[in-house]
Amino acid sequence: MKNINDIYILGIESSCDETAASVVKNGRQILSNTVLSQVDIHKIYGGVVPEIASRNHVEAIDKVVRQALEEANLTLSDINAVAVTYGAGLVGALLVGVSYAKGLCQASGLPLIAVNHIEGHICANYLTYADLEPPYTCLLTSGGHTAIVNVLDYDRYDVVCSTVDDAVGEAFDKAARVLGLPYPGGPQIDKLENQGEASYKFHSVVISNGNFSYSGLKTAVINLVHTAEQKGEPINKADVAASFCHAAIDGLIERLAQVIAQSGAKTIAVAGGVGANGYLRKRMTEFEKQGIRVCLPALALCGDNAAMIASRGYYLYLKGEFADLSLNACPTLKLRGEKPSR
Ligand code: KG4
Ligand code: ZN
């Protein structure tokens, strides 16, 4: 039974290769979370093909939204607002969700809320930890973003450091590709990491100004594999995967430790697809020995989903931050407060 004081947000996400819709109550409780992945389609091409992604979103979006409402046992008349991802992401893919949400709001009279995908990833923590409130420090590790962010409030972020080139997820996918592993490569490297030894030594991804650089690590893996191929020497894929994984993650943990030591943060969290990585999660829990609370989003909420978008939408709803029908997709949208470093 719907309580009049409860706020129900319908979230819609289509920024990359997942068509997703979800209903979230009061920003924290997931009533439904439908994700239709296109991974099997894009696997054939070794990565996401933007136009194919857009076409598949168009076909799927209405069905996915209806399913999310049905699973939540609600109708549109129970919903308080529609929150949609408008960036960052693939422009054509984003436009499908944005246009659908605009049409839905126009037809139903519901308010429209524009959500930043990265801010959504951070909110996956609120869905996993009902009592978590800012301030805390968040390690942002996605396919397009890598940063350490002090989350000062629900709307205020202080980006302490970020990548100057590739994002960590992107590096995982590229390293996996050169190792001949199927797309998406991150989970494949994660599996192999367990079976290998981190016997190859790579340079740190932390650069002198305290930011991250992943292009050198990516090139080092490519060179290692190509040199071995040219010499006809076998490589142990699991060892390369483990070595890459440790180098990619250890730098993040090292910088996070420095940031915490300076700020005295008592709570830390992870956001983004690479947050599902087993080695990263293990290394994060080491901070608990220092009496720090470590928040790791549920595995299903690390990758793209619409529940995180609905959660973020709830906090914008409380602020009365609504969009109008001129809302457009913004493929390069930054986190509020993020300096352009790339
Ligand atoms: O956060 P996300 O959806 O990307 C953006 O919003 O940009 O995360 C996708 C990224 C991909 O690069 C994928 O390979 C990586 O997250 N990923 C992983 C794992 N699962 C997903 N990387 C390492 N280990 C994993 N288990
Ligand atoms: Zn994402």
Distance (angstroms) between ligand 2 centre and the Cα of 229 equals: 34
Q: Report whether 313 contacts 9 (CB < 8 A).
A: yes
Question: pLDDT 10s digit of each residue in the chain, 342 long?
Answer: 678 899 999 999 999 999 999 999 999 999 999 999 999 999 989 889 999 999 999 999 999 999 999 999 999 999 999 999 999 999 999 999 999 999 999 999 999 999 999 999 999 999 999 999 999 999 999 999 999 999 999 999 999 999 999 999 999 999 999 999 999 999 999 999 999 999 999 999 999 999 999 999 999 999 999 999 999 999 999 999 999 999 999 999 999 999 999 999 999 999 999 999 999 999 999 999 999 999 999 999 999 999 999 999 999 999 999 999 999 999 999 988 776 554
**CA-to-CA distance for 33 and 21, rounded, in angstroms?**
6
Q: Is 317 helix (H, G, I), strand (E, B) or coil?
A: helix
**CA-to-CA distance for 244 and 219, rounded, in angstroms?**
11
* 102 CB within 6 A, ligand 1: no
Closest CA to 151 of 133, 134, 139, 130: 134
Distance (angstroms) between ligand 1 centre and the Cα of 273 equals: 3
* 146 CB within 6 A, ligand 1: no
Residue with structure tokens 């450091």? 161
Ligand nearest to the backbone CA of 147? 1
Residue 334 DSSP label: P
Q: Report whether 315 contacts 9 (CB < 8 A).
A: no
* 121 CB within 6 A, ligand 1: yes
Helix (H) or strand (E) holding 305: none
**CA-to-CA distance for 33 and 50, rounded, in angstroms?**
24
Query: pTM score, two decimals?
Result: 0.96
* 272 CB within 6 A, ligand 1: yes
Q: Which atom of ligand 1 is nearest to the CA of 272?
A: 1
Nearest CA to ligand 1 atom 21: 273
Residue with structure tokens 């308080």? 80
